[in-house]
Structure 1
Amino acid sequence: MHAHIAEAVKAPDLISLRPDLVCLRFETMKIYSALGAVRHLLESGAVRPGDTLVDSSSGIYAQALALACHRYGMKCHIVGSTTVDRTLRVQLEILGVTLEQVEPSRNLRLDQELRVRRVTEILEANPSYHWMRQYHDEIHYYGYREVAEQVDREAPDGPLTLVGGVGSGASTGALATYLREAGRDVSLVGVQPFGSVTFGSQDVPDPDMIIAGIGSAIAFRNVRHELYDRIHWVNFDCALSGAVELLRGSGVFAGLSTGAAHLAARWERRADPSRTHVFIAADTGHRYAESAFARHAEAPAFDALKPREITSLDELSHPWSTGSWPALRAARQD
């Protein structure tokens, strides 16, 4: 029996779509990150029950931190993106979360800068609050050790290719790190939207980009670039195609970041069928029901999509590009 709902919903399911293709499906992935981080802060004495934790979020981290605070008797203050929808707003309100949303913006950089600026103002006015810094504090890696252990137990023996949206870097970075520590041969493939500074696509915007949580307009210190073997840059249309095909083919209803990861994993599988490919489904597709899934008839044909293999970031282009990250980093430094 679970002591709290956060413990019940955090555990993912490994779903075998094909013998060498596995979906690591979460209801809401960042609960692991938030629970592990809050538990560490309490055990280390950095915070005490009743303290207020504050951070910014595009959606799923807000829910995760709210549940972690509820679990451990903390107060929660979230500065949210406009992607925090009414369903989540109502949940946060009932859970006692203080939620502020920044002004609507189609620009990722402006949205994130506004949120960080507001968090800074809140901390200046309330110095006793603790900033969770999900993008920069390595404590957000800790909670994923348990997930890595589950993947190691349940995934087929042999080499793995792990594919997932990068975002803050904690989920993919932590899973790859812990699996490698356990002795697994792991290739790590990160997925990014165009317009994200994290892997150098900031000069190639995607005007339709609503893939919340996997890109960044500001540098995230939790992204450890040396961990990644390949990167896929995927635009909205391709991510939608991947999400629609996943739902149609497997019944898994997941968000746009999952659609992009599914697309990338299927391509990587074709390139190296000797490995088991595990892609991360970080959350469900409900918040994209109107903005994306309702447009399923517009999605490009999944099997017709093919990425452009690049050797320089100058070659990045829509709708989908991919390349070896160590080679691209070396070329950029030259």
Structure 2
Amino acid sequence: MYDHVADAIGAPDPIRLDAGLVCLRFESMKVVSALAAVRHLLDHGVVRPGATLLDSSSGIYAYALALACHRYGMRCHIVGSTTIDATLRAQLAILGATLEQMEPSDDLKLDQSRRVARVAEILAEHPDHHWMRQYHDRIHYLGYRAVAERLRAEVPGPLTLVGGVGSGASTGALAGVLREHAPDTRLVGVQPFGSVTFGSEHVADPDIIIAGIGSSIPFGNVSHTLYDTLHWTAFGAALSGSVELLRRHAVFAGLSSGAAHLAARWELRQDPTRTVVFIAADTGHRYADSVFARHAEAVPLDRLAPLQVSGTDRLALPWCRMDWRRRPAWGPASTGPPSTPGA
């Protein structure tokens, strides 16, 4: 029996969808990360019970940190994105977390920059607050070890792991643990167009930058050398992946999960000798109107194929794939390596 609802929410469900294809489904993935991080801080005396934990979030991590603080008797303060909806605002308030939400903006880069600036102001005003630094502190890797060990025990190898890159903690931690026992484990990262992490900031998606799997600023928790392959998906392609995941397998998951589902099916087609596991990081409820109500727009996945590119300057909507080959970040903005001449 679980001692707190956060423990139940953080526990993933591996679901076999087809031969060689597994969905690692979370109700809210970052809960497992936040719980382990807060527990580690308390155990090592970095923070004391009742201290205020602070961070910036577009939504999922805000909920995760609020739950972890509720579980361990901490205070929680969130500088939130303009994208946080009324449902989450109510949950945060009832859980005892305080939220400062950015003013409405269509520019998510500006939204993110404002949040970072506000965190700095709060720390200057309240030096006793602890900044969780979900994008930069490797403490957020800790919670995924148990998840990786479960995968290793339940899912036959060799494995290919597919997931949104985001802060880098989930896919990075899972791949790192899996490779301790199976170095041939492949890691496939999924990015939205417009993200700086692997160099697509020059390609604009007119519909949306998929929240949670990309970034407008470099993240220290992303280890570029862990990734074998990258996929970039536009909103329409990710929508098709989400709708097909629900229609074919009854898994109701978010937009980043749809993008990972799309990429995972392609990777399985390229090498059917491997078991492909993709991460479904959250449920689809917050996408009911923006994605699932538009299910008639979904394109059958067998009609979609990625453009194979050799460099980030060749990226183009709606879907691209690139062999990254565990290379380091290129340049100060972590924008990825240059293209191969003549490719």
Report the Cα distance in structure 1 between the residues aligned to 2:211 and 2:317, rounded to whole angstroms. 18
**2:200 alignment partner, SS class:** coil
Q: Displacement of 1:176 after TM fit?
A: 0.1
Structural RMSD (CA) = 1.4
Determine if contact 1:108/1:216 at 8 Å carries over to the other structure. Answer: no
1:217 counterpart residue number:
216
CA distance in 1 between partners of 2:129 and 2:199 (Å): 33
CA distance in 2 between partners of 1:331 and 1:122 (Å): 39
Q: CA deviation at 1:333?
A: 10
1:208-231 CA distance string (max 9 Å, x none): 115211000100000000000000
Mapped pair 1:28 → 2:28:
yes
- Tell me what 2:184 maps to: 185
- In structure 2, give the amino acid aligned to 1:251: A
Task: Tell me, in whole angstroms, the C-alpha distance in 1 between the residues paired with 2:249 and 2:61.
Answer: 26
CA distance in 2, matches of 1:6, 1:51: 19
Structure-2 residue corresponding to 1:269 = 268
* Contact 2:231-2:322 within 8 A present in 1 as well: yes
Alignment-derived partner of residue 244 in structure 1: 243
State how far apart, in whole Å, the 1-side matches of 2:339 and 2:138 are.
26
Q: Deviations over 1:269-318 (max 9, x none)?
A: 11110100000000000001111111111222322111000011111000
SS in 2 for 1:206: coil
**Structure 1 contact 238–260 (Cα < 8 Å) conserved:** yes
Aligned AA (2:133): R
C-alpha distance in structure 2 between counterparts of 1:220 and 1:321, whole Å: 22
Asked if 1 retains the 8 angstrom alpha-carbon contact of 2:193 and 2:209, the reply is no
SS of the aligned residue for 2:115 comes to helix
TM alignment of 1:42-191, pairs within 5 A: 42-156=42-156, 158-183=157-182, 185-191=184-190
Alignment check: 8 A CA contact 2:192 2:209 kept: no
Q: Secondary structure at the match of 2:78?
A: strand
**What SS class does the counterpart of residue 61 from structure 1 fall into?**
helix
Match of 1:11 in 2: 11
Q: Is the 8 A contact 1:12 1:26 kept in 2?
A: yes
Q: What is the one-letter code of the residue matched to 1:323?
A: M
Which letter maps to 1:229?
D
Counterpart amino acid of residue 150 in structure 1: R
1:106: how far off? 2.1
TM-score (norm. length: structure 2): 0.94
1:288 corresponds in structure 2 to 287
The residue matched to 2:134 in structure 1 has which SS?
A: coil
SS at match of 1:53: strand
Q: Which residue in 1 is equivalent to 2:333?
A: none
Counterparts in 2 of 1:83 and 1:181: CA distance versus 1, 3 Å: same
**TM (normalized to structure 1)?**
0.97
Partner of 2:193: 194
Cα distance in 1 for partners of 2:131, 2:79 equals 11
Unaligned runs of 5+ in 2: 331-335
Q: Secondary structure at the match of 2:322?
A: strand
Q: Shift in Å at residue 33 of structure 1?
A: 0.7
Q: Determine what percentage of the aligned residue pairs are the same residue.
A: 68
Distance 1:2 1:143, change over 3 A: same
